[in-house]
Chain A
């Protein structure tokens, strides 16, 4: 059964192939210098993505300098104002400044994206390493489980976790991370399986190096590149999922200035105050776009077969 779930976001249909190619291709020149050179030589879009991402991260971090409004401060005299110099993104029905809500919301969303992917990487690597390294029935049982978990759309798995944890920003972040574990487990396992075949691993086994040491020193480094590519795109996916869950009331709760919450705030005012929904949604789209552009660039570097010609 080829029940595949799309690796969260983006045009990452080539991830399987990417992984395969990564295992055969070995950089001849020292890794990071080569990567850096290719990243800069790469098409304008990737450079644009990096710049956009830096701009977003920078302005989100510098939020207190870029706005003098508290994202939670209400002001009844400035309700539902359209975009102006004073309020670039307008104000919502409680008179809160949307520019500062979107800025501060970015902190939450970006951080949540990183943490969720972090959870997925740690969990997925652990399972993938164990399955790939021990093989046999351990591998069989774990991989069948992964197959089954991937046989349902990711958001449903996330919703099961939220169901038991209860809706909140932190829980949504954890739930997204947990629900993405299978994807990473599968990638890591694949890389481990081919790394295992290498002579140096066999040699280490024969000499009697303990299993955990072989995994950490000899096998894990092979896994880094494919995971890095998927994880980058995964951060974008996690941000989208979080916004979606918050929109449904299953993630961050109002009045938290989370992007999905703000879009949802604007929903009731769609007819009269288009700016609430529009700008918060644009923030999500541009953040995810920047991350996807960088992810695409990374994939091009690590997988020459898919490089845009």
Chain B
């Protein structure tokens, strides 16, 4: 287990380094001069643009910029926002908890409802519940999350008044966005759990258990569920990433604080360092989430540690 953990952690750092490098070069080498894009709205004078370019260090050779960027990064310096002049790292860190809260909550909702639905769909195969839940789940996957969010606001906030329309705060502010973002994980997980469950239920040990007269309930939740855990955990990692990406849209819909909303604002305003910082940070959070998933694998399934 020790070497497995070390290997995984090293691999994660390698990916993070790659992420830093790729984001850096993508943002510099892609066509479109960031400063002139940023300034279109103000019709800025040429010397102003030159000054900002100088300030951002965009006139230096790209490798010099890269090394300087890495150097600053090691010291936790992600640059400062072009408009507010606030440190990017401080902004990102202050917005991170809200996004994590949302991503974790929606993933949790997805896991709980998805797994339960999947189990019963498999147990009552071809029943009305099975068919209906699979069709509904396909619809869940097809709905745009921002639209679901707006419908939720319309019904549960504007009409019924059960939840606040927008903003960040306690649990009441979290429910609607988390459920809107959780619809898709529910659907994906229920479908996958159903398929894997059906596969497991056909195996010999399940037949044996049935022959021995073990209660169906125990077979489902004891014997079979344990074997379904592996695909579920893989999906948790993937769906967490989806939630992080989805936060970009959902936070805007609900006027919530968070990195996603910060990133959207940065792209809209062409705030160069802020875009780079937010993208990088969300990427790093995702890498860590996957690291945790990998480590969980190792704990649950010893076979993986040695491959």
- From DSSP, what is the main secondary structure of chain B's interface residues? helix
**B249 contacts A244, C-beta separation under 8 Å:** yes
Contacts of A247 in B (CB 8 A): 144, 146, 249, 252
Identify which of residues 128-168 in chain A touch chain B, using a CB-to-CB cut-off of 8 Å. 144-145, 147-149, 151-156, 159-167
Identify which of residues 213-265 in chain B touch chain A, using a CB-to-CB cut-off of 8 Å. 231, 234-235, 237-239, 241-242, 244-246, 248-249, 252-253, 263-264
Binds A, one of B61-69, B151-159, B204-212: B151-159
Q: Is A83 in the interface zone, CB < 8 Å from B? A: no
Q: CA of A168 to CA of B248 in the docked complex: distance in angstroms?
A: 18
Give the distance to chain B from A53, nearest Cβ to Cβ, in Å: 12
Q: Is A296 in the interface zone, CB < 8 Å from B? A: yes
**A147 contacts B18, C-beta separation under 8 Å:** yes
Identify which of residues 42-86 in chain A touch chain B, using a CB-to-CB cut-off of 8 Å. 45
Given contacts A248-B264, A250-B264, A285-B139, contact A2 B294 (CB under 8 A): yes
Identify which of residues 284-309 in chain A touch chain B, using a CB-to-CB cut-off of 8 Å. 284-286, 288-289, 291-293, 296, 306, 309
Contacts of A38 in B (CB 8 A): none
Contact with A along B109-148 (1 / 0, CB 8 A): 0000000000000000000000000010111011111111
Give the distance to chain A from B204, nearest Cβ to Cβ, in Å: 18
Give the distance to chain A from B72, nearest Cβ to Cβ, in Å: 20
What is the size, in residues, of chain A's interface with B at 8 Å between Cβ atoms? 62
Give the distance to chain A from B230, nearest Cβ to Cβ, in Å: 12
Closest residue on chain A to residue B145 by CB atoms: A244
Q: Is A9 in the interface zone, CB < 8 Å from B? A: yes
Q: CA of A185 to CA of B239 in the docked complex: distance in angstroms?
A: 22
Given contacts A144-B18, A159-B279, A271-B158, contact A248 B11 (CB under 8 A): no
Binds B, one of A90-98, A99-107, A200-208, A262-270: A262-270
Please tell me which one of the listed residues A5, A10, A249, A263 contacts residue B144 in the complex, with CB atoms under 8 A apart: A263
Give the distance to chain A from B123, nearest Cβ to Cβ, in Å: 15
Q: Is B74 in the interface zone, CB < 8 Å from A? A: no
Q: CA of A149 to CA of B148 in the docked complex: distance in angstroms?
A: 29
Q: CA of A250 to CA of B26 in the docked complex: distance in angstroms?
A: 18
Contacts of A144 in B (CB 8 A): 18
Contacts of A248 in B (CB 8 A): 248-249, 252, 264, 268
Q: CA of A114 to CA of B188 in the docked complex: distance in angstroms?
A: 24
Give the distance to chain B from A108, nearest Cβ to Cβ, in Å: 15
Q: CA of A155 to CA of B251 in the docked complex: distance in angstroms?
A: 14
**B15 contacts A11, C-beta separation under 8 Å:** no
Give the distance to chain A from B140, nearest Cβ to Cβ, in Å: 9
**B267 contacts A152, C-beta separation under 8 Å:** no
**A263 contacts B146, C-beta separation under 8 Å:** yes
Closest residue on chain A to residue B141 by CB atoms: A10
Which 8 residue pairs spanning A and B have beta carbons closest together?
Answer: A153-B245, A281-B147, A148-B18, A164-B30, A152-B283, A288-B142, A289-B142, A164-B32
